[in-house]
Amino acid sequence: MFWFPRTDRATVRTMTRLPADAPRQRPPRAAELLQREVLGNGAWEMLCRAAALAPPLSRPVAEIASHVFAGPRTVDDSAAVYAARRRVRFHESEWALPAEHLEPALAALRARFTAEDVRVTFPLEIRRAAADDVWLSTAFERETVYIAAHRYHREEAGPYLLLVQRTLADFGARPHWGKMHGLGARELSRLSPRFEDFRAVRRAADPDGQLMTPALRHLLGT
């Protein structure tokens, strides 16, 4: 689901796995172009750019987006359903927290956004995943909810993403490895129970650190 900050509305997408021989159902080509390109990219770019120039427009923009960007019903192969061109550029961080913490975490974010008068057009993207057993996985040994925060690329992303990071820290949030965050080895070692085991395997596989980079040294320690 997608919650637009400072509004009382969320857009919810539901997906149902169907048999392989289920008949395809796609909207007419013109309607699909209108939804994905005209509204989802062209109009969204103009609205985000307007809000970047005039921040008080951010809430009206979010209200509009929450109404019109939901999209039509579609039945198709997963690659056609999940993949979509995103031409509006943004900065993003994403945090994984225990699924049972979703409600208080959202309440905390909502309170902080109100207290700090946060003005942002992009919604928070919220999804759920099952627990797994991968040592550095963000879903290691716990049912997980992901909360992703986005900021339009023409706006300063750092303060907003840091606010989200600090708010979710109280809920044991682990950062998405491929997105923006401000944590290093000290914090990550507390969030990942098998962190030291991973570091030991890494040292054994690459004792001279040939595969290490400055970013990896910050994340994994030396």
Q: How far is CA 188 from CA 33, 80, 141, 157, 177, in A?
A: 43, 35, 16, 22, 11
pLDDT of residue 222: 78
Q: Are 173 and 96 in contact (CB under 8 A)?
A: yes
Express the helix, strand and coil content of the chain in percent, nearest 5 each. Answer: 45, 15, 40
pLDDT of residue 32: 65
DSSP class of residue 38 equals I
What are the tokens at 34? 């209108």
pLDDT of residue 37: 65
Q: pTM to 2 decimals?
A: 0.89
What are the tokens at 75? 């039945």
pLDDT of residue 11: 86
pLDDT of residue 70: 67
* Residue ranges, the chain, pLDDT below 50: none
pLDDT of residue 144: 98
CA-only gyration radius of the chain, Å: 20
Q: Are 194 and 159 in contact (CB under 8 A)?
A: no
pLDDT of residue 85: 79
pLDDT of residue 10: 86
pLDDT of residue 141: 97
Q: Which of 168, 159, 165, 148 is nearest to 92 (CA)?
A: 148
pLDDT of residue 215: 93
How is the beta sheet containing 144-152 ordered, strand by strand? 10-11, 2-3, 124-129, 144-152, 90-98, 174-175
What are the tokens at 165? 């990071």
pLDDT of residue 143: 98
pLDDT of residue 89: 93
pLDDT of residue 146: 98
